[in-house]
Structure 1
Amino acid sequence: MLHKKGSSFHRENVGRVSASEYRQAISTALSQELCGAGQAAKATMRWTGASERTTKNWISGSYGPSAEYLIELMRHSDTVLAVVLELAGRKEAMTTERLANVKRELAKVLENLDAICSIEGDQMTE
């Protein structure tokens, strides 16, 4: 809603994600992706450059990562990326990305099959 004085836009909080929902979603995503608190903390530290205490707080859900760290987590973790898109109400964006990944993987599989078939064909003609 625009106020009579000033030009800032204040959106209503309909559908807004709470801080606790955000913290829990990131915690769940990291735990699912990395299996185990010790391993998860170390991998998260490598991905983000954050301290061990900070990453353990994210994994436990005590705190959530700030924007800079969240971007790094999304860069390395498809699970975190999917959770953030879902929280933003943009789940369909992840579906598009997954389809693109499946197409790339399928292309690799087909290349490997072609290579195997050509090797077997060469061996049969010898």
Structure 2
Amino acid sequence: MPPKTGKKLHRGPGGRDRREKFEQGISTALKSELGPTHRAVKTLMSWTGASERTAKHWLAGTHGPSGRHLIQLARHSDAVLFYFLAAADRSFIVPGLHLVAMRTKLLDLVEAIDAHKRQ
């Protein structure tokens, strides 16, 4: 019988719980913004280039996104970005992000008003 090679590495305290919490957090964030419908799956696919099955796993909370997919999700979804910042203990950044978003919306509104005045 051949000898065993390698060692089993333990994830440390709460490894599985933390992972499941991440997966559920991403799922909750996505559902709050997109809903649990098939349209949400299609939206996730277009945002990230992920497969349909992968997007369904994210919404179900059974799997979490990889690093590059997480970046794409945060680029398109404020809810995912805010969850990520809270999970990283950086929630103090969120109010600043809200101000930037409000400023952008106000500038868009001013442009719409100006365009209406020119007509």
- Whether 1:84 aligns to 2:84 is yes
- Whether 1:38 aligns to 2:38 is yes
Deviation at 1:114, TM superposition (A): 4.9
Deviation at 1:89, TM superposition (A): 1.0
Q: Which residue of 1 aligns with 2:5?
A: none
Supply the RMSD in Å over aligned alpha carbons.
2.0
Whether the 8 Å CA contact 2:36–2:59 is kept in 1: the answer is no
Identity, % of aligned positions: 40
| Residues 1:48 and 1:115: Cα distance change in structure 2 (over 3 Å) | closer
Unaligned runs of 5+ in 1: 1-12, 120-126
Q: Which residue of 2 aligns with 1:72?
A: 72
Deviation at 1:22, TM superposition (A): 0.3
| 3-state SS in 1 of match to 2:50 | coil
Q: Which residue of 2 aligns with 1:4?
A: none
Alignment of 1:1-126 (within 5 A): 18-114=18-114, 116=116
Indicate the structure (1 or 2) with the bigger Cα radius of gyration: 1
Deviation at 1:107, TM superposition (A): 2.9
TM-score w.r.t. length of structure 1? 0.72
Letter of the aligned partner of 1:84 in structure 2?
A: F
| Count of residue pairs brought into register by the alignment | 104
Q: Which has the higher contact order (CA 8 A, sep 6+)?
A: 2
| Residues 1:40 and 1:108: Cα distance change in structure 2 (over 3 Å) | closer
- Partners of 2:82 and 2:32 lie apart in 1 by 12
Letter of the aligned partner of 1:68 in structure 2?
A: R
